[in-house]
Amino acid sequence: MQSGSRVDVYLFFSFDLVGSSLLKAQTFNRFHWVELFQYFHSECRRQIASRSVENAVVWKYLGDEVLFYQRISTPYQVEHTIRAIDRALGALTQDLSASAKYGAAAEYISIRAIAWTAPVLSFAEGVSDKMTELVKQLEAAEMLPADQMMHDRENNIVDFLGPNIDTGFHVAASARPEHISISPALAEFLRGTERPVLDAIIEAGN
């Protein structure tokens, strides 16, 4: 084991409130919209944690949106997480409508989910010989990912940068309320189409 570059496949997903701008213009007796956002953030975390989604981590909060990331160690993990996201979306929608405190907001907002994948390059401690060799092969073939993980260890901040990381924003443009929308690459992954590079990355990462 040594320090060095590694490549991992990550699943990114988010939940967000559709119609929050209209919501902010309303006045509610039982809550302020900031409280609703805090409730939504907390419930998203709880729903994912309660469905045994391994290694899913909150990436960031963007106002009314909660983004997660998850390093993928098996193809089945992706399938399990997508099912969990879909069920969490249904539970979040139902719980909001039934909430004694926040139910009045359901008239103005809905919830949607987005998911996509990307191979990500990072620098890490304890890189295995198998991963080191794979990185060399990908570099020689000019196939190293353009997407990178940036880890500010001093401030405990993790961020992801690159063209495939931005896929979520493109998917969001056509995403529908109360549905989970996934990227074309993720759809291909779930279909089990041939993916030698991604499979090699997942194998080397274990």
Query: What is the predicted pLDDT for the residue at 192?
Result: 80
Contact, 82 vs 180, CB < 8 A? yes
Angle at 105 between CA 100 and CA 111, to 5 degrees: 110
**Predicted confidence (pLDDT) per residue in 17-42, tens digit:** 999 999 999 999 999 999 999 999 99
Query: What is the predicted pLDDT for the residue at 1?
Result: 56
CA distance 130 to 205: 8
Whether pLDDT at 153 is above 90 = no
Please provide residue 121's backbone torsions phi and psi, each rounded to the nearest 5 degrees.
-90, 135
Query: Domains of the chain by range and CATH?
Result: 2-204 (3.30.70.1230)
Contact, 117 vs 12, CB < 8 A? yes
Mean pLDDT across 190-200: 87
Whether pLDDT at 199 is above 60 = yes
Contact, 111 vs 177, CB < 8 A? yes
**Predicted confidence (pLDDT) per residue in 99-134, tens digit:** 999 999 999 999 999 999 999 999 988 899 999 999
Contact, 12 vs 67, CB < 8 A? yes
Q: Residue 46 CA to chain centroid, in angstroms?
A: 15
Mean pLDDT across 164-176: 92
**Predicted confidence (pLDDT) per residue in 36-84, tens digit:** 999 999 999 999 999 988 899 999 999 999 999 999 999 899 999 999 9
Please give the model's pTM, rounded to 2 decimal places.
Answer: 0.94
